[in-house]
Every structure is written in C-alpha cells, then in structure tokens.
Chain A
Amino acid sequence: MNGPRKDSYDVIVVGGGVSGLSAAAALERLGVESVLVLEREQECGGAPRHIESPNFGLREFHRLMRGPDYAAGMRARVRSAEVVTEFSVTRLLPGGKLEGAGTRGMRALAAKRIILASGTREASRHNRLVSGARPFGVVTYGALQRYLSFAGLKPFRRAVVVGTEWVSLSTLQTMRKHGLRPICMIEEQSRTIAPEMIMRVIERFFNAPVYRGAHLERILGNTKVEGIEIEQGGRLHVIECDGVVFTGKFIPEAHLVRLGQMDFDQGSSGPITDQCHRLSDPAYFACGNVLRPVEASWVCSREGERVARLVQRSLARALPASGGFVPVRLSDPIRFVWPQRLVFPYEQEQSGLCLKVSFRRPVRGMLRFAADGQEIWAKNISAMPEQLVKVFPKRMPSASVADFELRFHEE
C-alpha cells in the first residue's frame, strides 16, 4: 500500500472503522474536498468485519446484514476521499499535525481538522488483574473472532465466558457456529448486565449456566488452560475448561490523546470533549467508541455523520468558541458523563442535547441534572455498569451558566 498522496489535507480521519468511514462519507456529501482516512489494519470496516451475526445495518441500509457485509457497505459509501490502509498514527501534535508509520516508513501529515475515530477494544485479563500463569487459551472475544474469522484457528474447544453484556451473548453465538462449547458464563455482579429475561432464555438455549455474583479467582494451568476457579457466596468451585474468553469491559483506544497531551477523562478512558465533539485542542474532533465504552454500530455511524457536519461548520468558523466551556461536575457512583463539558450556545441539531452517563456499580434511584443549582432534568433510573444512561435536558437555560452538575440519589 502506498502512503498518503499529499502531506496536507482539509480533514484527516484517524481510523477507518464504522464512525470514521461514516464521517468521511458525510464530509464528501457536504462538499469537503480534501479528506484522508488513515486505517492501521489492511482493510477498513472496523470490528464488524469479524462479527458474523446478522444484526447490523437496519438503520443505515434498511435491512439486516452480517458484520462483514455491513463493513463492505460502509466502505462503499466512501467514494472520493483518499483512503490509506496499513498506516499507524504514532503521535498527534498540537494544531492538527500528526506522525505515523506506513509500509514505507514514517510520514508527517497536517490537516485543518483531525477526526479521531480509533475505536475500542476489550479489557484483557491483565487489565482486569486476574490471577494465574500465562497458559494458552485465554483470549478476549475480539481476539477470538479474529482467530476464527481471519486465521481459521481455534484457540480452545470448551471455554468459560467471562461477562454478561450483549457482546457476551454474541460470543456464545460465535462459539456455537464454530463448534466451540461454552461451558458457563461468569458475572461479577449479582445480576446480569444484559437483561435477565433474555439471559434466562440464553442459559437454557446454550445449556450454559450463568454464575451470578461470582468472582474469577484464578486461571488454572501453566502452559494450557486446565480450568478456572471461581468464588461464589464464599465458596470456591473449580470449573474444567481449556479456554477463557473475556468479553466486554471495553476500553477506548485513546492512548494518542494522552501522548498528544490533550485532556483525557479517567472515567471514560477517552478524550474530554464538548458537545461539538471537540477535544481540548480545537483542531481535533472525536467520534465513535473512542469517546466512551460503548455504543452500537448504528450509533457510531450516526455520530460520524454528526461530526462531519460539526467539522464542516468548524472549517467555516460557525461553531461556538471552544474556550468558554463549562465542565459537567459529577460524583460517585457516576463513572463518567459524555460530553464532559458544554459550550455556549448549546444550539443542537434535530436530536437535541444528549448526555450519556455510566455508573461504577449497579444502581437504582434518581439521576438529576442541574444548571447553577436549578434542576433541568431528573429521572428514576436503574442501571448496570457498562450501560449508558441517556440524559435529555429538554429546556437548557437561555443565559450562560457557570455550573453544571449531575447527581445521583440512591433509592
């Protein structure tokens, strides 16, 4: 693959996954001429390329599609923008400059605006501080998909699935399709992250019980996985298996934000942005799952389109200034809110201002959003960690506000 044809562009999109491709296609439609998409893998399309279940595309293509077909559809939407694969961005520099490596070595590039769309990945066993040696057969779901879809390799036969998010259900489907047996699922919380009603059906269908309130004590085996030990209700059990799949607990792929010295949110592990998707360096925008864990593909796709419109307006100097932002204050048990800061005026597109909130632990109670101490939104909610709760303040204050606060009152 040849590198980028030029050294300088109007807009560079870092990451050719769903949100990045969507942003590039929308920029084309908006008439932005000089757009470059940089993708570090050999093909654009992002994670759907290796998710075979047919639950993509309903909103974008008006039919249900398998992941690889959906990824191809997203690629086909980008027509005139330059797309360079096998190019890894290594550093973002102030004002819209970047460095990266392609197949022919290092390049320095510049753009008036750079859109960060670098996506997300699942937390590995290391990140989760799981006990055990380093036997073969311990993977994340993403890695498993790649083993199966891209390399035709099976890292195990019978595995325990850690996690009960939606993606964990997709894991069971994938394993079944490839003749791998899911033995059981482990959930640290006392109830599953995906709805219990569905989980009970799934347990029966796959004959894979869910251990709720179960802590993964250690992975057994030195060279190959021999089993796991779990603690549930004060008792230890050993479950024999030859593989462990860690699912969910997504982490934004946002190290470039930190290396680039831009403001970073420890709660979301993504960049801090305003509601215009703008980072602390206003030459940078971000969309898709690099912003926060984690949204469905259609949300990422729509976010890409929104960012394209915002970037176009930014190029035309038609966005509110980024300097006078007000951060949204929050306190435990709220893990993060996106966007982390708001700028004035809040003029929104059709959908209105929407904040997304995530919690550290399972919660039930009243979530309140206040401006200068005045409540502008409140709702009774129940949420699990790794779920996003939406906050839609219908009436934002007309005068400028000095303080925004999100508060949670436990039941």
Chain B
Amino acid sequence: MSQKVYDVAVIGGGVVGCAVLRAFTLAGLKCVLLERGADILSGASKGNSAILHTGFDAPPGSLEHKCVQEGCKEYLEIHERLNLPLVRSSALVVAWTEEQFRSLPDIVEKAHKNGVADVTQIALEDLYGRETNLSAGAKGAVLVPGESYIDPWSAPLAYAHQALANGADIFALSEVQRGEFDAGHWKLMTPGGLFKAGVVINCAGNFGDIVEAINRPSAFRITPRKGQFLVYDKPAADLLQCIILPVPTKRTKGVVVFRTVFGKVVVGPTAEDQEDRELADVTEKMLRDLKAKGESIIPGLASHEIIATYAGLRPATQFDDYQIDADRDRHWITVAGIRSTGLTASLGIAKHVLALYEEKLGRLNPIDEPVWTPVPNLAEHRPRAYQKPDAGELVCLCEMVTRKEMEDALSSLLPPGDMGGLKRRTRCTMGRCQGYYCGHKVAQLAQGRLKEPSQ
C-alpha cells in the first residue's frame, strides 16, 4: 500500500511497460509500475525473439513502423551506457519459391519507402557465400544489413532499473482489479492496496482489453497469438551468420532461424491463436514441425541437440497496427496490440506516448542528470563474470553463471520475484542440461527469497 499520489501509474511490467516507466521517470514525473505477476517480464515479454528490427518490412506510414524505427535508433544510442549487447548480424529474407522470388523487389521497395536505404536484393552466389550451410534450392534473397540481435531480458530490465534509480516504484503481485476516476485522479485497487495516480498508462499486454475496460469499453479485443520456439546448443551456432527470415505472409513474419547473444540457435515462432491469456505451452506436433522447418532451411541443424523449447504469447488484436491512444478527459493512455516487434519498438513507443502526454495531459520536466544503471553482461561475445579473477564459485555449469552473479541478482534494486525472473537475470539452468547439474543449487540459493517460490 502506498499513500503517495503518483503522476503516472503504468499497468503492466512487460518490455513496453518498462520502457514507458523509464521514459516518464526520466521526463521528471513520479511514476509507479503495477505488475500482476510475481516478477516483471513474466507475460508476453518472456517469450520474445530478441531481434532488434530496422522496420524495413513494417507497413509504411504505420505507427508500428514509426515506433520500431525510433526504438531501434534510441537503443543504438543508449545500449552502451546501460551495458547492453548488440550483435549486428544482418538479416536475409530468403525466397524458396518462384512466387516468393517475384515478391523480393517489392520487399526492397517497401524497405526503401520505410527509409531503410541499405536494403538490397542479392545474387544467389552472394547468399550462399554468406550462408554456406543454407539449404540448396533458394531462389534469391534480400539483404537487410541493419538487423541485429540483442539480449531480450537484460534490455527491459535495464530500463526498469534506470527508472527505479531515478525515483520510480515497481510493485509486483499488484494486479489492477478495479479503478475509479474522480476529481482528476485515478484510484487503482490491487491485492497489494490502493494506488493513486494522475494518469494511467495501460501497458497490460495480453490483458490489455481487460484493463482497458476499467476506463471504457475496449475498442479492441486481445487474442493471444502463441509462438513456440526451439533452442539448439552452442555448437550449432557456427551453422549460420545472419538472421534468416522467410518472405512474410499477411498474417505473420513466419519462422525465423537466428543466433542469440547467448551463443545458441533459435528456430521459431509459430503463430497460433488461442483464448487462454496465460498458458504458454509447447506442443509436440508444432515442435516437430518447427524442427522440420528449421532443418529445411539449415539442414545441418538435424545433427544438433535441442536443449530447450519455449512458447510466448503475443498480444494480437483484430487490428494490424498498434493501438495507442490518449483519453484526455479521463487521464488514460492506452498502449495495446504490441505484437511481435515490442522489444525493438518499446523505446519508440515510450517516446510516442510521452509526446501524447505532453500534447494532451500535462507538462514534462526532464531530469537534468539522470542516473545510468549499467546491467551485468550475459552475452557470450563480451566479458562475463566467470572470466574474471574474482569469479568464485560457478553455480550453473552450462551457462557459466557464478554464485556471485546470482547473489547480486537476488539482492539487486529489482530482485526476481520468481524462478523465471532469476533465470532471466542470470541465465541459470537455461543451458543444455536444463537444471540437471545446478537445479538443486539454484533452488537452495533462492529458497525463501522469491515472492512466488514454486515457479
């Protein structure tokens, strides 16, 4: 329970909520973030695909396009100060049929229209020169030099940390169940107590329409779109260089094969609409389909070990574009329908929402010298804690996580609320043995220190 009256309450601690919290805090407003889960990033954001997009394939003129490009630009500006990784791998859109091949010039034209001028169609020799393990039979490809991959969780965690360090509050297990707007202020009821705020920003992801109904009948309906992924072990990483994209269909970007900053190879996502907003389960049939799909693109994957499977739920609506809108009269901003580009777009969305706020709701007073909060590096290609002379004991032997890193995470400004949160902050148990060697140690270390101990 907090007696404070906040300027802004952000509902939802996903990638978008964290970026919005950071932006409003750095803009000099007193902010609170209310998260229904035991930890932030435990909804749609836990299954994101870690790619930093250029926006080359976004619908021209869309809000999504604007936010992706702004978001990408800001990430490039701030990632070093937050100690966040960036691997400029480039992406290849590969055509496997004549029909797809004929659409490649349109992809290039669209990219140029979107201001991504370095996108070009490349010759087959060039394609196979870049990707020597690519399956035979490609008809052609488009090269997108600016596409990169980043750390999918450290980035939003860094945004949340910076917000905290500059005066914001974050409350977990604080699902906003009801709200009242009265005399220019919102009263938000949560299991953790009552929160008062001048403005509410709905960043509730897969619960976006339910939270929206607190203010007004929702103009959109969320239908979670499940994406399943396969993760291959490190030795597979030599099989590819670029992010391998398919020619997109109207509904989905399709199955991507990409490397991660943790040295793995990922194949996914699927796109399956479902009603359930929480159950992100994998299904054997789809995993087998994904495996076959991945092997049809990079045949060498067949001989490599699948070490993990996971699924994420993307908050899709009946609309193609993001649903972002400010209700001036009732001090409510909606940020919804952020489907698959949220990681890249989050910083751009935050900027856009800030402008909406300034235009319709109030003044900003940016902090002169904000505190910067670099986060621990987990990316393989940059120095890791285990490599240092003071490394000490290693707990997770596959992902090389030190006890010190885990202790630091557990006692950080934003300690994990559940086991998933500890994994996202340190990578413990996320390697090839999936907890065979260190599961018991991790459980011991975390005992009594998580809000939600059983997950």
Residues of chain A having any CB pair with chain B under 8 Å: 40-42, 86, 88, 90, 101-106, 121-122, 124-127, 129-134, 136, 139-140, 142-143, 146-147, 150-151, 153, 155, 217-218, 222-224, 251, 255, 258-259, 264, 266, 269
Contacts and interface: CB of A to CB of B under 8 A. Distances in A.
A134 B430 CA distance: 13
A309 B454 CA distance: 50
27 contacts: A42-B393, A86-B393, A101-B387, A103-B391, A103-B394, A105-B387, A105-B388, A105-B389, A105-B390, A124-B307, A124-B435, A126-B306, A126-B434, A127-B434, A129-B287, A129-B288, A133-B311, A134-B310, A147-B443, A151-B443, A153-B444, A155-B443, A218-B281, A222-B278, A251-B305, A255-B432, A259-B234
B356 interface: no
B2 interface: no
Q: Which of B284, B311, B392, B441 has the most CB of A within 10 A?
A: B284
A131 B284 contact: yes
Contact of A121 (B279, B287, B433, B454): B433
B280 to A, nearest CB: 6
A172 to B, nearest CB: 19
A136 B454 contact: yes
Contacts of A41: 397, 437
B455 A40 contact: no
A132 B281 contact: yes
B419 A126 contact: no
B88 interface: no
A104 B389 contact: yes
Q: Which of A125, A143, A269 has the most CB of B within 10 A?
A: A143
B381 to A, nearest CB: 14
Number of contact residues on B: which range applies?
Answer: 35 or more
B282 interface: yes
Given A121-B436, A129-B288, A255-B235, A105 B306 contact: no
B400 to A, nearest CB: 7
A146 B308 contact: no
Interface in B390-404: 390-394, 397, 400
Contact of A124 (B278, B400, B434, B454): B434
Interface in B257-280: 278-280
A248 to B, nearest CB: 13
**10 nearest A-B residue pairs (beta carbon):** A258-B235, A151-B440, A124-B434, A133-B281, A146-B440, A105-B389, A266-B303, A129-B287, A147-B440, A131-B283
Nearest to A132: B281
B309 interface: yes
Contacts of B390: 104-105
Contact of A40 (B387, B391, B394): B394
A126 to B, nearest CB: 5
A88 to B, nearest CB: 6
B439 A146 contact: yes
Contacts of B432: 255
B321 interface: no
Contacts of A106: 387
A218 B391 CA distance: 40
A105 B234 CA distance: 21
Nearest to B46: A134
Given A147-B439, A222-B281, A224-B454, 12 more contacts: A88-B386, A88-B394, A101-B394, A104-B390, A104-B391, A129-B284, A129-B288, A129-B306, A133-B311, A134-B420, A146-B436, A258-B235
Contact of A140 (B291, B436, B444, B452): B436
A134 to B, nearest CB: 7
B265 to A, nearest CB: 13
Contacts of B439: 139, 143, 146-147
Nearest to B302: A266
Q: Which of A104, A105, A130, A269 has the most CB of B within 10 A?
A: A105
Contacts of B387: 101, 105-106
B388 A126 contact: no
A101 B282 contact: no
B309 to A, nearest CB: 5
A126 B400 contact: no
Nearest to A260: B235
A330 B278 CA distance: 47
A136 B303 contact: no
Q: Which of A139, A146, A155 has the most CB of B within 10 A?
A: A146
A143 B436 contact: yes
B433 A124 contact: yes
B435 A255 contact: no
A143 B398 CA distance: 14
A130 B309 CA distance: 9
A41 B433 CA distance: 14
Contacts of B447: 153
B235 A136 contact: no
Interface in B419-439: 419-420, 432-437, 439
Q: Which of A88, A129, A155 has the most CB of B within 10 A?
A: A129
A218 B436 contact: no
Contacts of A103: 391-394
B436 A126 contact: no
B233 A255 contact: yes
A122 B437 CA distance: 11
A130 B305 CA distance: 15
Nearest to B432: A255
